[in-house]
Amino acid sequence: MSSTTIPIYTSEQAEETILKRPVFQEPKLSTRVEQKIKQVFGEELTALQVVQRILESVRTCGDKACRQWTKTIDGVEVGDCFQVSKERILSCVKTVDSQVVDSLRVARDRVLSFHQKQPITCWFTSHLGGQLGQMVRPIEKVGFYVPGGSAPLPSSVIMSVCPAIAAGCQTLVVVSPPDKQTGSIADVTLAACGVLMELGVDIRVFSIGGAQAIGALAYGTESIPKVDKIVGPGNIFVSLAKKEVFGIVGIDGIYGPTEAVIIADSSARADYVAADLLAQAEHDEMAVPILLTCSRELAERVSKLLVQQLSSLSRSSTALHSLQHHGGIVVTSSLEECFRLSNQFAAEHVSLIIKDPWESLDRITNGGGVFVGDTSCEVLGDYIAGPSHVMPTGGSARYSSPLNVLSFVKIISLVGLDRNTCVNIAEKAATIAKSEGLTAHAKAAQKRLSEDDAH
């Protein structure tokens, strides 16, 4: 890879290329996927049309449709039962490498402890007359999509389910696609479910993925229960399916490729910065690893180190494509300019590898998660630090949050007015109702003004 180069941009160039958020368009599919669609459906269809057909068949035909799509698309026959038995799940805790299981337990404990500290309380006040307040109730039934197509992702089980456990959700349903070779969910993913079950929580696991899994969770089938909310990332078909069923169920968000913005100054270690960029780049050819720095010297050192370190990666071609087509290095005129560009981009992950990073937190206004200092590398956040790694992508960090306890609760408003307050405000309510032309509303309020309580 001696001739390989990593692009270095000016701020102006970056704002017109890698930092420019595209207007949403119909997702472009690879030639391979387009050919597969034509083979399966007998005609050319967009990704959305594929999803709509799958969802409608699952809605009307239930398990039969789920089996058909799993066989046709995934190449796996699941037989009569999608559900993975509790015995099989717990056996994986014993058979999977003990170091992996122990690490999953540490991750479980840290992520659960973090979310148990999130303050979510009911409150009431009487200063406005009577009792006003809010009650907090957990969402009863939640479905969790755990990707598993190109590689098993046990960390997604921990990061998605732990906040729901902390919230008190009672019905937890995990779906994950079966492996084409073995015909079942990866053992390590089942082990992650098992270490959560060690806490005494009941988790039902189903071997199904893709848009058909989202449909099953949204509509319910003979064997897969209907849930109230679906969370978790997936491929374009999963994301579009979540978007289609929103309203029938709640969803956490629509997730795209992973994003990492590193803000670094001349004090940063170039080898750390390069390693962190590559960690994101190897995720996916569409991943977005970006360095923002006011140090030209650091930029050039990192560029050289990226090329050197690429050769040692098992997914070097993926990482290189990501860096050259969707990421890169941006040299700015000042550190303040780095923060401006970062906030404008609103990345999923923002790392501060600068002198006195804690003093700069107030300069961050947009970002799914902020990783402070070179010992708080984003990789630790991916697996074990504490916050959920399910974070907003695609610029949605401007208005949304990482998966957290609030994602799994409902706030119910409470109104309990006393007689005096009712009388004092009823006429005002009636006046507003009349201005809207709603006379029945006005009359209902005015009925309360009478001292005669006779029915």
Task: Check 349, 359, 436, 451 and give the catalytic one.
Answer: 349
What does the longest C-alpha to C-alpha distance in the chain come to?
A: 92
Cα distances from 179 to residues 18, 75, 234, 276, in angstroms, run: 34, 9, 15, 29
Secondary structure of 166-195 as H, E, C letters: HHCCCEEEEEECCCCCCCCCCHHHHHHHHH
**The residue type at 104:** L
Task: Check 244, 259, 282, 348 and give the catalytic one.
Answer: 348
Residues 6+ apart with CB under 8 A from 34: 44
Instruction: Copy the structure tokens of residue 29.
Output: 């599919």
User: Is 348 in the active site?
Assistant: yes
CB 125 within 8 A of CB 415: no
CB atoms under 10 Å from CB of 29, counted, come to 17
What residues form DSSP beta bridges with 413? 134
Q: Is the dihedral of CA 12, 18, 24, 28 positive or negative?
A: positive
Q: Residue 188: how many CA atoms within 13 Å on its side-chain side?
A: 17
User: Is 349 in the active site?
Assistant: yes
Residues 6+ apart with CB under 8 A from 45: 37, 38, 53
C-alpha span between 155 and 313 (Å, rounded): 21
CB 389 within 8 A of CB 383: yes
C-alpha span between 143 and 155 (Å, rounded): 16
C-alpha span between 242 and 247 (Å, rounded): 10
Cα distances from 262 to residues 12, 75, 110, 300, 361, in angstroms, run: 18, 40, 25, 15, 14
What amino acid positions are annotated as catalytic residues?
Answer: 348-349
